[in-house]
Amino acid sequence: MTARLIDGKKIASEIRAEVAVSAARLAERGTKPGLAAVLVGDDPASQVYVRMKKRACEEAGIYAPDMHLPADTTQEALIERIEQLNGDPRIHGILVQLPLPRPLDESEIMLRVRPEKDVDGFHPVNVGRMVSGDPDAFRPATPAGIQELLKRIDVDPQGRHVVVMGRSNIVGRPVAEILSQKQPWANATVTLAHSRTPDLGEVGRLGDILIVAIGRPEFVTADMVRPGAVVIDVGVNRVDDPETEKGYRLVGDVAFEAVRTVASWITPVPGGVGPMTIAMLLRNTIKAAERFPA
């Protein structure tokens, strides 16, 4: 058996094209969707992510102003900027790129974003709405992207056993909540496993769908996967490789070459889950603009 590849890059491109159509329709009615990605400091990875988000916005017809603040920005100054964005009718979505430089308090900052503009889905109000099963709640982009990948390859989680490895508030917990809910493209039996779970391999083999987000390069091997399982690899890890021009390569949390001989479907890294995150963020921005037009 050789697993079929889940082409997240292609699927994300389709979603971004759909977003562009929706943005154009909103613009015809006098509302240009706006997304403010606030970047504090000069973290290289964060700079790359924000540039990618800004480029994606521009391609989709979404207003995306520069929001780069110096590393020595105070808590008070950052809160003031967020409050300005909260009150700006041109801005429908706000995200604060994490991690923030110390000593900024990330928890307080996230609370300052108005829930109706929290397109990242991290505000406690939106988390609560998501957990309660509200289909209109903003859902975190990566978990929403995972569900969308399953939908686009026509793998319905209903009645299946989903094993999620990783319990972060950004991916593991929300995707477990989403896929267990009484909603279309959900209704799964979900096991949430983590670093303290005894015999992760045995638990992994229970999954008809295995979602891995643990941040350990190539941790999941073929013997940890049920034959015929759908494998969603959320991890992105840099490992040294002197044979490459850059001296490193990107790998997921799954040993791709070995696992693809066991699975029925598998996401590559890069090109799997990653592109979906930005696509779903743009979709959330459109949803915000449709709810609260300028």
Please state the pTM of the whole predicted model: 0.94
Q: What pLDDT is recorded for position 248?
A: 86
pLDDT at 283: 98
**Is residue 152 within 8 Å of residue 4, measured between CB atoms?**
no
Q: Is 89 helix (H, G, I), strand (E, B) or coil?
A: coil
147 is catalytic: no
Is 88 catalytic? The answer is no
Reading the block at residue 216, the tokens are 């350990």
What residues contact residue 145 under an 8 Å CB cut-off, 6+ apart?
8, 12, 273, 276, 277, 279, 280
pLDDT of residue 41: 94
Quick one: pLDDT band at residue 242, thresholds 50, 70, 90? confident
What digits encode the pLDDT tens for the residues 29-73? 999 999 999 999 998 888 988 999 999 999 999 999 989 999 999
Which residue among the candidates 7, 54, 97, 117 is catalytic per the annotation? Answer: 97
When the pLDDT of each residue in the chain is averaged and rounded to a whole number, the result is 95
**Each residue's pLDDT tens digit, 253-277:** 999 999 999 999 999 999 999 999 9
Closest CA to 119 of 173, 64, 188: 64
Amino acid 44: pLDDT:
87
Contact 241, 275 (CB under 8 A): no
Active site residue 120: yes
- What the chain holds in terms of domains, given with CATH numbers, is 30-114 (3.40.50.10860), 140-274 (3.40.50.720)
